[in-house]
């Protein structure tokens, strides 16, 4: 619900459990007055205390009123160079050379439904409302529109910003954040999700300290190193208690998320495109739209915050052609063969897989151009018929005969110098004049900011996807961007290339979705290097990590679960010992770790023993019978990562079914007796556990389930709970 109170000048956004408010002050500055648990309609500007503060300037129109300072008061969208020395959200380069921005309220409009952003990902759907508050910078001749989308039932507030040059001179835009959120407190922890290739999104939590603390990426992708999702929460917030604010940016390129604890112990969070090498030219009449950010506040801890994100993402961000249907169980040949395969080898793996219940065969890297290792072939998107005689037209019908549908790997944004594409168009790769470009995995990056480059690559992909029935595409991206310079833009516009690159990727993904509406696209960037809300809008699942070790995956998937729902996490059972870290784990633990995600296998199943094959058959049955719990159930983290085991639970919406998954670490002699307390059940119901004994929901939650002693390394268990008819 969006309420404008003309007398008080307040805009109040109510969701089911939260309230967000801003207010136009007497000098036209838009102040942020409150965001938190739902409160009644009232003017909350009493929370904005005023006092003269030395060295904090006062806007000119405040005259003798020295208590009004942009540097001290909470702003809705912070400006730059005009008296607020904290994190700025907006920075112009004015025709006179000044790098300032100053904003005053100009008006608002309300729209039914949720706004959309052309060419950019955004939450969508029924039941939402839109508020657009317009601010103006008179000296710049610019209007700044602040967009708010309110999904009341989901406690979700989305934000976006559009800057319009209404003046007669060209403006430079050097910073344009998507989100600015001021708090009148700073006794909070900042949680970020950090890591590296094969160890993505590991939770890191620390109290806010004075000054700015930030995470971000200047790698051209959202990155393995930091995720564009952060949390600010009470110092003692836990899974089930405490006030938490989660903020996600729906963007797949350079980003920055910065929190500043200022001199008066207030805090500001700013999130948006990273200002590194960002400068957008706005000619008169032109506009720039910053990507969407999304906020969820929960006063019931981090668990509830995550569940709200999961629901909102599943129901209002993902555009899965199979929405509400089970995803196919897949087999991917990468870890089984790498580049070394023949049709017969692929069919042998496929045949074994089909016999065990697998439904989709994914042909990974190496099927195109001259690609026998990672030094050549990228860009040449036609089938290598010496490897696959007769091409896909010969392979795919044989897969169909086995009862398997077909999926394929591509890496559209990249090119090897040893490729026909590069030989024909060397200027299509990003490179700085006079510098030899850095290689990453032996490859260069195509200039996806250029239409002709995108058109060429997409035309080739389209032909491949039209040549045989393709159910699934894995869209990969295996290096960071460097040497970012486009031959298509003049010197003064090179600051646009990073963002135009991302817009170009989104544009091709959208074309692919439009031309092949039934295609399931899986995002990938050396695993989870571009796991963000932007990609999820186009690719409803993302390969979570190149690390398929079940034990490492527990931490990666745990961190990922703070924002992203289980159904978005591509997770496969792979061979043991693991290819990335050499660890040996039982098949059961590998399957339990993978089953909560978009489930599949990535190993040569013909090497499995008869016993293992029987186990795999039963794992696939378990997944197929319970996929709705794994993918659509409410997710509860039952432990963190500090104990002897990691456990989590998914509960159906009607609370009549649940599944508990547990994977333990290394073996322990003389272990203590342990119980595991469950969550999210109906206290009054009685549940049968794994078809055997029954217990009350209250007992399972408050007293817990006794755990059997575990023998050996990496033991695991899965408990299926079903309410008993009474």
Confirm or reject binding of residue 413 to ligand GLA (CB under 6 A): no
Residue 526 lies near ligand GLA (rule: CB under 6 A): yes
Q: Which of 35, 409, 472, 636 forms a contact with ligand GLA (CB under 6 A)? A: 409
Write the CA distances from 133 to 22, 90, 107, 250, 268, integer angstroms: 10, 16, 6, 21, 20
User: Applying CB under 6 A, does 182 fall inside the site for ligand GLA?
Assistant: no
Using the contact rule CB under 6 A, the part of the chain among 61-69, 430-438, 524-532, 620-628 near ligand GLA is: 524-532
**Contact range with ligand GLA by CB under 6 A, out of 245-253, 344-352, 465-473, 520-528:** 520-528
CB of 546 to ligand GLA, least distance (A): 5
Window of 519-527, 643-651, 657-665, 696-704 that interacts with ligand GLA by CB under 6 A: 519-527
Phi-psi map region of 125: left, alpha, beta (phi>0 left; psi -120 to 50 alpha): left
Give the end-to-end CA distance of the chain in Å, rounded to a whole number: 40
Q: Counting every residue, how long is the chain?
A: 726
CA angle 311, 317, 318 (to 5 degrees): 90
Which residue number, 222 or 686, has a Cβ lying nearer to ligand GLA?
A: 222
Is 645 in contact with 705 (CB distance < 8 Å)? Answer: no
Q: To the nearest whole angstrom, how small is the minimum distance from the Cβ of residue 476 to ligand GLA?
A: 5
Nearer Cβ to ligand GLA, position 336 or 638?
336
What x/- string results for residues 454 through 493 when contact with ligand GLA is judged by CB under 6 A? ----------------------x-x---------------
Element at 659 (helix H, strand E): strand 657-664
Which CB sits closer to ligand GLA, 409 or 623? 409
Catalytic residue list contains 532? yes
Q: Give me the least distance between CB of 344 and ligand GLA, in Å please.
A: 21
Name the minimum Å distance from CB 474 to ligand GLA: 6
Cβ 332 to ligand GLA shortest distance, Å: 7
Q: Closer to ligand GLA by CB, 409 or 516: give it.
A: 409
Single out the residue of 62, 267, 481, 524 in contact with ligand GLA (rule: CB under 6 A). Answer: 524
Among 76, 155, 200, 364, binds ligand GLA (CB under 6 A): 364
- Spatial distance between the Cα atoms of 281 and 171, rounded to a whole number of angstroms: 6
**Dihedral in degrees, nearest 10, Cα atoms 344, 340, 454, 273:** 130
Nearer to ligand GLA, 102 or 522 (CB): 522
The catalytic position among 532, 549, 552, 604 is 532
- Tally of CB atoms within 10 A around 611: 9
Query: For tokens 């649940």, what's the residue?
Result: 658
Q: Which stretch binds ligand GLA (CB under 6 A): 261-269, 494-502, 521-529, 586-594?
A: 521-529
CB of 527: closest distance to ligand GLA in angstroms? 5
Q: Which two tokens stand for residue 703?
A: 């007293």
C-alpha–C-alpha distance, residues 178 and 186, integer Å: 21
Please report how close the Cβ of residue 200 comes to ligand GLA at its closest, in angstroms.
11
**Residue with the shortest CB distance to ligand GLA:** 365
CB of 542 to ligand GLA, least distance (A): 10
Q: Between the CA of residue 145 and those of 122, 247, 288, 709, what are the distances in Å?
A: 16, 20, 10, 60
Structure tokens at 667: 């073996």
DSSP 58-96: --GGGTT-TT--TTTSPBSS--BSSS--S--SEEEE-TT
Site size with ligand GLA, rule: CB under 6 A: 11
The DSSP secondary structure of 364-385, one letter per residue, reads: -SSSBSS-SSTTB-TT--SB-T
* Of 304 and 546, CB closest to ligand GLA: 546
Which of 352, 365, 418, 549 touches ligand GLA by CB under 6 A?
Answer: 365
CA atoms within 13 A on the CB side of 80: 19
Pick between residue 364 and residue 604 the one whose CB is nearest to ligand GLA: 364
Smallest separation (angstroms) from ligand GLA to the CB of 553: 14
Nearest to 666 by CA among 686, 683, 644: 644
Nearer to ligand GLA, 316 or 553 (CB): 553
Closer to ligand GLA by CB, 314 or 479: give it.
479
Residue 494: how many other CB atoms lie within 10 Å: 15
Quote the CA–CA distance of 475 and 392 in Å, as a whole number. Answer: 18
Task: Give the separation between CA 489 and CA 492, rounded to whole angstroms.
Answer: 8
Q: Cα(262)–Cα(265) distance, rounded to whole angstroms? A: 5
CB within 8 Å of 605: residues ≥ 6 apart: 331, 349, 352, 353, 356, 613, 616
Phi/psi at 102 (5° precision) = -140, 135
Contact mark string toward ligand GLA, 233..272, x via CB under 6 A:
----------------------------------------
Stretch that binds ligand GLA, among 38-46, 74-82, 253-261, 522-530 (CB under 6 A): 522-530
Instruction: Clarify whether 612 is annotated catalytic.
Output: yes
Q: Which CB sits closer to ligand GLA, 334 or 687?
A: 334
Q: Which stretch binds ligand GLA (CB under 6 A): 72-80, 117-125, 256-264, 523-531?
A: 523-531
550-560 vs 587-595: helix crossing angle, rounded to 10: 20
Which of 234, 612, 615, 722 is the catalytic position? Answer: 612
Interstrand relation of 330-332 and 634-637 (parallel, antiparallel or unpaired):
unpaired
User: Which is nearer to ligand GLA, 528 or 540 (by Cβ)?
Assistant: 528
Give the residue, chosen from 68, 245, 255, 334, that forms a contact with ligand GLA under the rule CB under 6 A. 334
Q: Name which of residues 532 to 551 contact ligand GLA (CB under 6 A).
A: 543, 546
Is residue 645 within 8 Å of 717, Cβ to Cβ?
no
Candidates 9, 527, 565, 597: give the one binding ligand GLA (CB under 6 A). 527
Distance CA 157, CA 128 (A): 10
Helix axis angle for 451-467 and 497-515, nearest 10°, is: 30
- Measure the CA–CA gap between 723 and 726, rounded to whole angstroms: 9
Query: Interface residues with ligand GLA (CB under 6 A)?
Result: 334, 364-365, 409, 476, 478, 524, 526-527, 543, 546
Where in the sequence numbering do the catalytic residues fall? 532, 612
């Amino acid at each position: 619900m969006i309420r404008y109170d003309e007398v008080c000048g307040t805009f109040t956004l109510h969701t089911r459990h939260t309230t967000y408010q801003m207010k136009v002050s007497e000098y036209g500055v838009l102040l942020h007055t409150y965001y938190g648990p739902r409160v009644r309609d009232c003017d909350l500007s009493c929370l904005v205390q005023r006092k003269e503060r030395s060295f904090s300037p006062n806007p000119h129109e405040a005259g003798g009123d020295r208590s009004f300072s942009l540097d001290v008061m909470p702003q809705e969208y912070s400006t730059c160079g005009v008296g607020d020395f904290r994190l700025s959200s907006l920075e112009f380069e004015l025709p006179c050379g000044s790098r300032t921005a100053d904003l005053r309220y100009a008006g608002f409009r309300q729209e039914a439904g949720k706004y959309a952003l052309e060419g950019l990902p955004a939450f969508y759907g029924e039941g939402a409302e839109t508020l657009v508050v317009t601010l103006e910078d008179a000296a710049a001749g610019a209007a700044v529109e602040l967009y708010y989308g309110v999904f009341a039932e989901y406690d979700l507030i989305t934000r976006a910003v559009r800057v319009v040059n209404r003046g007669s001179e060209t403006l430079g835009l050097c910073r344009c954040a998507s989100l600015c959120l001021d708090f009148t407190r700073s006794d909070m922890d900042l949680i970020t999700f950090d890591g590296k290739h094969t160890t993505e999104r590991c939770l890191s939590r620390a109290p806010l300290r004075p000054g700015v603390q930030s995470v971000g990426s200047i790698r051209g992708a959202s990155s393995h190193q930091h995720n564009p999702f952060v949390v600010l929460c009470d110092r003692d917030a836990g899974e089930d208690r405490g006030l938490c604010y989660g903020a996600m940016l729906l963007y797949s390129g350079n980003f920055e998320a910065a929190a500043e604890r200022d001199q008066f112990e207030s805090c500001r969070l700013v999130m948006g495109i990273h200002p590194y090498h960002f400068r957008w030219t706005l000619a008169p009449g032109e506009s720039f739209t910053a990507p969407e950010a999304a906020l969820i506040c929960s006063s019931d801890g981090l668990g509830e915050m995550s569940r709200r994100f999961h629901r909102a993402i599943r129901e209002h961000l993902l555009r899965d052609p199979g929405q509400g249907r089970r995803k196919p169980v897949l087999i991917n040949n990468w870890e089984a063969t790498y580049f070394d395969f023949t049709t017969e080898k692929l069919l042998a793996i496929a045949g074994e897989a089909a016999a065990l219940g697998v439904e989709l065969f994914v042909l990974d890297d190496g099927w195109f151009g001259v690609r026998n290792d990672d030094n050549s072939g990228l860009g040449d998107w036609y089938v290598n018929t010496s490897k696959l005689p007769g091409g896909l037209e010969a392979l795919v019908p044989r897969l169909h005969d086995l009862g398997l549908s077909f999926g394929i790997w591509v890496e559209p944004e990249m090119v090897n110098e040893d490729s026909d594409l590069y030989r024909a168009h060397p200027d299509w790769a990003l490179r700085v004049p006079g510098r030899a470009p850095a290689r990453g995995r032996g490859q260069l990056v195509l200039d996806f900011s250029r239409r002709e480059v995108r058109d060429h690559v997409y035309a080739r992909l389209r032909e491949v996807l039209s040549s045989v029935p393709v159910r699934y595409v894995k869209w990969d991206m295996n290096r960071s961007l460097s040497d970012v310079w486009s031959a298509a833009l003049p010197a003064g516009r090179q600051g646009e290339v990073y963002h135009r690159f991302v817009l170009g990727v989104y544009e091709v993904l959208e074309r692919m979705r439009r031309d092949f509406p039934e295609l399931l696209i899986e995002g990938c960037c050396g695993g989870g290097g571009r796991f963000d809300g932007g990609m999820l809008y186009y690719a409803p699942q993302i390969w979570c990590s190149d690390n398929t070790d079940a034990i490492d995956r527990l931490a990666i998937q745990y961190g990922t679960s703070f924002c992203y729902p289980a159904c978005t996490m591509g997770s496969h059972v792979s061979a043991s010992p693991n290819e990335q870290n050499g660890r040996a784990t039982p098949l059961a633990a590998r399957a339990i770790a993978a089953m909560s995600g978009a489930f599949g296998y990535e190993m040569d199943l013909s090497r499995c023993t008869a016993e293992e094959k029987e186990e795999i058959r039963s794992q696939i049955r378990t997944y197929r019978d319970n996929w709705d719990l794994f993918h659509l159930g409410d997710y509860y983290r039952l432990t963190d990562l500090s104990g002897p085991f990691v456990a989590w639970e998914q509960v159906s919406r009607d609370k009549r079914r649940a599944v508990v998954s547990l994977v333990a670490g290394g073996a322990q002699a003389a272990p203590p007796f342990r119980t595991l307390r469950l969550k999210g059940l109906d206290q009054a119901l009685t549940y049968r556990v794994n078809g055997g004994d029954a217990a009350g929901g209250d007992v399972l939650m408050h007293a817990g389930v006794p755990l059997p002693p575990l023998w050996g390394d990496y033991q695991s268990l899965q408990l299926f709970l079903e309410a008993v008819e009474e």
